[in-house]
Chains A and B, each alone.
Chain A
């Protein structure tokens, strides 16, 4: 048995008991299979909900959460108020929550378990944990047993022993755990998400529902964020808005920008685009009671000079347009082209997300000589389309593509393009490309896979010329 409710505990059952024993004691026991992943997921969602109080939330074992509330408590009217508020609200959601506030994570954990509801004033950790039983230190059961055997029943009693004795008998980790509990050593918690560089948030007494009000809040937060960013001469490259619903659900929405930005108007515009384009729209439910805007990627941004040259201004406007489109459609969908150092036709140029692309050092080199016709098609099929071609002497004479027969009037080729065998693991057949014009003047880019005259040779249409 891994967990019990209150009633079962009252009947004298204990976690870890074999099920048969428990059944023997309480024949009417109701049993459900333990689902550790579901438990974990639930705990994580509670952890998310706790982001309400502080951005630094860490999971602690299968049933615990650690919140670093340094600097956050005053927002909720003090530490006691914060503790009460969080416990009440968790209880309202149907959880049994025990909590304590102390100077160190270990002390808080021990107190939550053995003296639920304690708030330890700063610097008094040692006194607060002294009366707790040694089990509260969460040590190896063998060590705890040895303490009990030696008559050391509380943390306070263990603390009276000399450190050197303890180290000699139980090893340094035990002493470290003791120091942590007493507040003499410090170990930071490892929060689930790193603290963003910049953050602004607003708590609402009345949950917020109207979209206009939400955008207006974002504008206000963006302005506060802009101030913080300006102080350090930075601009945000990625912004995340977290919407905390009154019923505990959290929605996070992020936008990215091509260049460091801190203009609130731009930020709000990007969020509006993003919110408009959401497949699964932002549902306020009973309203949001906290909205937080954070910049988790920031870069230094030059002081904006008033004397823009036309080109720089143009670039800036384009970058803003790109950001808007990326916010609406995703950055993978707005692309710029750059030359690439390979001769595979599909790869000789790359389309990169315009937001991320940097200016390439490579130059565009046309394949054709001056006066020559284009040698690469304007439109290319991602997947070359199989065609039936008649090519008695190697050159295609007619071919059928999408059930239409094309008579070839002019053809040029083959241009052999070997695949990059040193990069591919599987052998890719050589392609012989042909530029072809049919009797209607339409120009195609065909290729033959496999060698001329072989049965295995197959024809494909890869692109269309203008």
Chain B
């Protein structure tokens, strides 16, 4: 009895320390998206645990891209260890070095652990978190393994805070559960053009460069916006002079949990050339006020 009480006290103390030291002990790395950075008190917190969930089935690749970008930002010049179980590669595809390269990340900075199952991912990851030479660690965990409970997430938080290695949990096919994470994100892929396109018709497509490559960037380039706020404005103003630019990684990221600050929802574009996140083109619509008063206070509605 007494021993248990003592243990709890020690744990409480540790938690409090982590809670206190978290924001002060480790730096924030700016994401590049000014509003998100402001909300995150300067950017993604290093030496902490961050969770990313796909917002719906089918958004797993978007969530993975979002995590890859976040991890690369958080790791700065250091290396990123990506751990995934075999099942995940079959179900969601293997992380491709060329895909990382095309996102503007250096594949040479990534290490991949092909673990046999989710529990090995967790165990190996917890061990690897103590290696301060790493910059960031991505745990890709499909489903909800029993091993990953609140206590496990606390262990991850502690290990991460101690070494300064930022940990990312990419939870696929899972429901959100209580955890000790610093932030939790729901990510869905956002459309490159927010308008209802007619189906593509190959005949109208301009040929490019006389080669075998034709592009179909279906109808008038619409400006991008968050559908949540301005459904009526879709298909409106042209942007970028009709530049054929669809397909840039575009995320609707919702910050649903933040231990040290406010929440928010943004459409974030990953700028492969700069290795930074950004608001969508021309700032027409950047941030969507969300149905949370706290978030709405600080974001202006642009229609």
Binding site for B on A (CB under 8 A): 313-318, 320-322, 324-325, 328-329, 332-338, 345, 348-349, 351, 354, 364, 366-368, 370-382, 392-395, 397-398, 404, 407-416, 435, 437, 439-443, 463-466
Contact flags B209-221 to A (C-beta < 8 A → 1, else 0): 0001111111000
Query: Which of B40-48, B126-134, B154-162, B282-290 faces chain A?
Result: B126-134
Once the chains bind, are B62 and A442 in contact (CB under 8 Å)?
Answer: yes
Once the chains bind, are B200 and A395 in contact (CB under 8 Å)?
Answer: yes
Whether B184 sits at the interface, judged by CB under 8 Å, is no
Among all A-B residue pairs, the 3 with the closest Cβ atoms: A466-B65, A379-B93, A373-B247
Contact A416/B95 with A334-B112, A364-B107 known, Cβ cut-off 8 Å: no
Once the chains bind, are B191 and A441 in contact (CB under 8 Å)?
Answer: yes
Contact A371/B197 with A317-B133, A414-B212 known, Cβ cut-off 8 Å: no
Whether B300 sits at the interface, judged by CB under 8 Å, is no
A380 to B270, CA, bound (A): 20
Whether B66 sits at the interface, judged by CB under 8 Å, is yes
Whether B103 sits at the interface, judged by CB under 8 Å, is yes
Query: Which of B114-122, B142-150, B291-299 faces chain A?
Result: B114-122
Once the chains bind, are B94 and A382 in contact (CB under 8 Å)?
Answer: yes
Task: Report B-chain residues with C-beta under 8 Å of the C-beta of A315.
Answer: 133
| Shortest distance between the CB of B171 and any CB in chain A (Å) | 16
Once the chains bind, are A410 and B99 in contact (CB under 8 Å)?
Answer: no
Whether B53 sits at the interface, judged by CB under 8 Å, is no
A161 to B294, CA, bound (A): 111
Once the chains bind, are B62 and A466 in contact (CB under 8 Å)?
Answer: yes
Once the chains bind, are B99 and A374 in contact (CB under 8 Å)?
Answer: yes
A395 to B198, CA, bound (A): 14
Closest to A375 in B: B102
Task: Report B-chain residues with C-beta under 8 Å of the C-beta of A411.
Answer: 200, 216, 218
A378 to B189, CA, bound (A): 13
Task: Report A-chain residues with C-beta under 8 Å of the C-beta of B202.
Answer: 392-395
Whether B168 sits at the interface, judged by CB under 8 Å, is no
A380 to B107, CA, bound (A): 15
Task: Report A-chain residues with C-beta under 8 Å of the C-beta of B216.
Answer: 395, 410-412
Once the chains bind, are B108 and A410 in contact (CB under 8 Å)?
Answer: no
Once the chains bind, are A410 and B273 in contact (CB under 8 Å)?
Answer: no
Q: List 16 A-B contacts (CB under 8 A).
A: A316-B133, A318-B131, A334-B114, A337-B110, A337-B112, A364-B108, A373-B245, A374-B249, A378-B64, A410-B197, A411-B200, A441-B250, A443-B189, A464-B60, A465-B247, A465-B249
A380 to B197, CA, bound (A): 27
Once the chains bind, are A349 and B191 in contact (CB under 8 Å)?
Answer: no
Once the chains bind, are A441 and B273 in contact (CB under 8 Å)?
Answer: no
Q: A317-B132, A393-B201, A408-B200 are in contact. List 9 more A-B contacts (CB 8 A).
A: A318-B134, A320-B131, A321-B133, A332-B114, A335-B112, A375-B102, A379-B93, A410-B200, A412-B247
Task: Report B-chain residues with C-beta under 8 Å of the C-beta of A322.
Answer: 111
Of residues A335, A354, A375, A407, which shows the largest number of chain B Cβ atoms within 10 Å of its Cβ?
A: A335
| Shortest distance between the CB of B195 and any CB in chain A (Å) | 9
A354 to B134, CA, bound (A): 15
Task: Report A-chain residues with C-beta under 8 Å of the C-beta of B131.
Answer: 317-318, 320-321
List residues 74-108 of chain B with CB under 8 A from any CB of chain A.
78-79, 81, 89-90, 92-104, 106-108
Task: Report B-chain residues with C-beta under 8 Å of the C-beta of A409.
Answer: 191-193, 197, 218
Once the chains bind, are B203 and A349 in contact (CB under 8 Å)?
Answer: no
Q: Which of B65, B134, B243, B247 meets A378, CB within 8 Å?
A: B65
A410 to B245, CA, bound (A): 11
Whether B58 sits at the interface, judged by CB under 8 Å, is yes
| Shortest distance between the CB of B127 and any CB in chain A (Å) | 7
A206 to B216, CA, bound (A): 79
| Shortest distance between the CB of B94 and any CB in chain A (Å) | 6
Of residues A354, A370, A395, A398, which shows the largest number of chain B Cβ atoms within 10 Å of its Cβ?
A: A395
Q: Which of A321, A329, A368 meets B102, CB within 8 Å?
A: A368
Q: Which of A317, A320, A466 meets B249, CB within 8 Å?
A: A466
Inter-chain residue pair count (beta carbon < 8 A): 230
| Shortest distance between the CB of B17 and any CB in chain A (Å) | 25
Binding site for A on B (CB under 8 A): 58-62, 64-66, 68-69, 78-79, 81, 89-90, 92-104, 106-108, 110-116, 120, 124, 127-128, 131-134, 188-193, 196-197, 199-203, 205, 212-218, 243, 245-251, 270, 272-273
Q: Which of A328, A374, A379, A464 meets B124, CB within 8 Å?
A: A328
Once the chains bind, are A463 and B96 in contact (CB under 8 Å)?
Answer: yes
Once the chains bind, are A333 and B114 in contact (CB under 8 Å)?
Answer: yes
Once the chains bind, are B106 and A364 in contact (CB under 8 Å)?
Answer: yes
Q: Which of A408, A415, A440 meets B58, CB within 8 Å?
A: A440
Of residues A377, A398, A409, A435, which shows the largest number of chain B Cβ atoms within 10 Å of its Cβ?
A: A409
A412 to B212, CA, bound (A): 11
| Shortest distance between the CB of A346 and any CB in chain B (Å) | 9
A414 to B214, CA, bound (A): 7
| Shortest distance between the CB of B52 and any CB in chain A (Å) | 12
| Shortest distance between the CB of B162 and any CB in chain A (Å) | 15
Contact A439/B213 with A374-B272, A409-B197 known, Cβ cut-off 8 Å: no
| Shortest distance between the CB of B108 and any CB in chain A (Å) | 6
Of residues B61, B66, B107, which shows the largest number of chain A Cβ atoms within 10 Å of its Cβ?
A: B61
A378 to B69, CA, bound (A): 11
Closest to B252 in A: A441
A351 to B113, CA, bound (A): 11
Q: Which of B102, B134, B217, B273 meets A367, CB within 8 Å?
A: B102
Task: Report A-chain residues with C-beta under 8 Å of the C-beta of B133.
Answer: 313-318, 321
A393 to B214, CA, bound (A): 12
Task: Report A-chain residues with C-beta under 8 Å of the C-beta of B99.
Answer: 374, 376-380, 463, 465-466
A269 to B189, CA, bound (A): 43
Task: Report B-chain residues with C-beta under 8 Å of the C-beta of A415.
Answer: 212-213
Contact A380/B58 with A348-B98, A367-B102, A441-B191 known, Cβ cut-off 8 Å: no
Once the chains bind, are B190 and A380 in contact (CB under 8 Å)?
Answer: no
Task: Report A-chain residues with C-beta under 8 Å of the C-beta of B60.
Answer: 379, 464
Closest to B197 in A: A409
Once the chains bind, are B61 and A441 in contact (CB under 8 Å)?
Answer: no
Q: Which of B61, B101, B199, B201 meets A464, CB within 8 Å?
A: B61
| Shortest distance between the CB of B247 and any CB in chain A (Å) | 3
Once the chains bind, are B188 and A441 in contact (CB under 8 Å)?
Answer: yes
A1 to B70, CA, bound (A): 76
| Shortest distance between the CB of B129 and any CB in chain A (Å) | 10
Contact A380/B94 with A329-B115, A410-B200, A443-B247 known, Cβ cut-off 8 Å: yes
Task: Report A-chain residues with C-beta under 8 Å of the C-beta of B215.
Answer: 412-413
A334 to B113, CA, bound (A): 4
A306 to B234, CA, bound (A): 63
Once the chains bind, are B78 and A314 in contact (CB under 8 Å)?
Answer: yes
A393 to B202, CA, bound (A): 6
